[in-house]
Amino acid sequence: MASEYETGAIEVASGVFAFIQAGGATDAGFIVDHDEVVIIDTLMTASLANQMMAEVRRVTNAPISYIINTHWHGDHVFGNAVLPQVPIIAHDTCREDLFSEWETHRAFLRELYPALWPEMEPLKATPPSITFETKATLHLASRSLELMFLGRAHTRGDVVVYLPDAGVAFAGDLAFHKYIPNARDGFPVDWITAAARLERLGADVIVPGHGPIGTNSDLQEMRGCLELVVAQVRKSYEKGLTEGQAYVALQLGPFNDWGRQEDRLPGVIKRAYMELRGEI
pLDDT (tens digit per residue) in 97-142: 999 999 999 999 999 999 999 999 999 999 999 999 999 999 999 9
Percent of the chain with pLDDT over 90: 96
Does position 262 have pLDDT exceeding 60, yes or no? Answer: yes
Could you tell me how far CA 257 lies from the centroid of its own chain? 21
Mention every residue, 6+ apart, whose C-beta is less than 8 A from residue 255.
180, 224, 225, 228
Does position 42 have pLDDT exceeding 90, yes or no? Answer: yes
Q: Residue 2's pLDDT is what?
A: 44
pTM for this prediction: 0.96
Q: Residue 152's pLDDT is what?
A: 98
Calpha distance 173→158 (Å, rounded): 7
Which CATH fold topology does 8-216 show?
Metallo-beta-lactamase; Chain A (3.60.15)
Mean pLDDT of 225-251: 98
Instruction: Give 84: exposed, middle or buried? Use CB within 10 Å, 0-12, 13-18, 19+.
Output: exposed
Cα distances (angstroms) measured from residue 33 to each of 53, 63, 171, 241: 16, 10, 20, 54
Q: Residue 122's pLDDT is what?
A: 96
Computed over every residue of the chain, the mean pLDDT equals 96
> Which residue, among 168, 177, 173, 242, has the nearest Cα to 211 in the 3D structure?
177
Q: Residue 4's pLDDT is what?
A: 81
Does position 230 have pLDDT exceeding 60, yes or no? Answer: yes
Could you tell me how far CA 230 lies from the centroid of its own chain? 20
Q: At what angle do helices 188-199 and 216-238 cross, to 10 degrees?
A: 150
Calpha distance 130→196 (Å, rounded): 27
Does position 1 have pLDDT exceeding 50, yes or no? Answer: no
| Positive/negative CA dihedral, 121, 91, 176, 12 | negative
The 3 state secondary structure assigned to 60-98 is CCCCEEEEECCCCCHHHHHHHHCCCCCCEEEEHHHHHHH
> Which residue, among 120, 101, 98, has the nearest Cα to 45 in the 3D structure?
120
